[in-house]
Amino acid sequence: MASTTPLAGQTALVTGASRGIGKAIALHLAQAGAEVVVNYASSSAAAAAVVAEISAAGGKAYAHRANVGNEEEVGGLIKAVLEHSGSIDVLINNAGITRDGLLMRMNTEDWQAVIDLNLSGVFLCTRAVARPMLRQKRGRIVNITSVVGLMGNAGQANYAAAKAGVIGLTRSTAREFASRGITVNAVAPGFIITDMTRDLDLKPILAAIPLARLGSADQVAGAVRFLAADPAAAYITGQVLQVDGGMVMG
């Protein structure tokens, strides 16, 4: 029988883990036995609450602030985790923002902010963990992309471009790291119940989803946990797992 704590003795870094999908992922990986690093950019109170929830359930976690779109701060984050925990065995690149607007009206600042965090942040964190993971000859990386990166979406040119870039980065990195026992995959959520979807007009969205409902953060986290922790996922790399109720097929 497979262990219920396959990540026991391992360290998992989850970026943007103070709320929403990132929080759910942090909780799931802690349940799998990992010591979880709860990365956050602004809300120390929210991050502390996630750490407290994990600790109350008998898990191990600590918080660390860093803007993962900033090269210097990413370097400091990885250095601090390695000094505190000794290794980084799992990296979940989850941190992201939206700055929606029609392309003709989108200013360069909003374009660049989304690219810097949602795409460059994945690159910076992956590059920073590459050396220690390659040295230990094992590791799992899961990047959170979006179905928008597969199909596009009006009013989200910056977000769609960044998330499509994450898919290309995932597959390229998977090819580079495979020979050293490191898997790199992506999870593409569809419309999930979070702060980002709270104010959307759901009627046309639900009509486009075969399962006719929004997903939950826990359902996304379950997919991430499989790719990051389940021994059965050791032979899966370079893949995009869609958690979207059937919205995008093919």
The verdict on whether residue 159 carries a ligand-binding annotation is yes
Domains, the chain, with CATH or none: 9-241 (3.40.50.720)
The alpha carbon dihedral of 39, 40, 44, 45 has a sign of negative
pLDDT in tens, 184-223: 999 999 999 987 677 778 888 899 999 999 999 999 999 9
pTM of the model: 0.96
**Active-site hit among 40, 62, 159, 235:** 159
The verdict on whether residue 162 carries a ligand-binding annotation is yes
The verdict on whether residue 93 carries a ligand-binding annotation is no
CA distance 63 to 154: 36
- The predicted structure's pLDDT at residue 1: 54
The verdict on whether residue 160 carries a ligand-binding annotation is yes
- The predicted structure's pLDDT at residue 198: 74
pLDDT in tens, 136-166: 999 999 999 999 999 999 999 999 999 999 9
Segments in the chain below pLDDT 70: 1-2, 196
| Residue 40 appears among annotated catalytic residues | no
